[in-house]
Amino acid sequence: MMMVLPKCLPTLQQLNAGIWTHPDNVFCTEHTKDSFISCNTNMAPNQLVILCDKHIPILSTLKLEIPHAQNKSNRNFHNIDWEEFNKSLLPRLGQMGPPCTITTQAEFGRAASNLTRAIQETIKEVVPLSKPSPHLKQWWNHDLALMRHKVVKLNYES
């Protein structure tokens, strides 16, 4: 621990004797030392008297960086037109050939990767990207909004 407030800086005036002392200190650790821009007392003439002693306020200025969360673009599956999605997916599935019996593990692996590729290409083509607000309720969707509207309407009618 190290002291950030300059040494021997008066922080308290004892009311009965008028003596200035320095019992109040500001400590920090080695890794937080660079965060302090300044640390000093405010020797303003109109100080508050607290509990019969005159404590001088300690003013600390800190440099704190708050990292902003990166809002990455996601696919917006909430309002997707599934008919259009299926219409785009069917030709890709047709390119894989007719359905056949899978007998080996290698055939299964090829079929799984072809199906995955077809679905991912369709998602890239049909599903739009969205950049959600950081304050967005990500669990909320259009269906919940409709149900909430019905509940409000029923409450109003009853």
Task: Indicate left, alpha or beta for 51 from its phi (over 0: left) and psi (-120 to 50: alpha).
Answer: left
Q: Are 90 and 121 in contact (CB under 8 A)?
A: no
CA distance 4 to 90: 69
Q: Is the pTM of this model over 0.85?
A: no
Maximum C-alpha span of the chain: 99
Helices (H), the chain: 82-94, 105-126, 142-157
Q: Are 41 and 49 in contact (CB under 8 A)?
A: no
Q: Residue 91 has what pLDDT?
A: 94
pLDDT by residue for the chain (158 residues), tens digit each?
888 888 888 888 777 777 778 787 888 898 888 899 988 887 765 555 454 567 778 888 999 887 766 667 788 888 888 999 999 999 999 998 888 899 999 999 999 999 999 999 999 999 988 876 767 666 777 888 899 999 999 998 87
Cα Rg of the chain (Å, integer) = 34
CA distance 24 to 78: 57
CA atoms within 13 A on the CB side of 114: 15
Angle at which helix 105-126 crosses helix 82-94, to 10 degrees, equals: 140
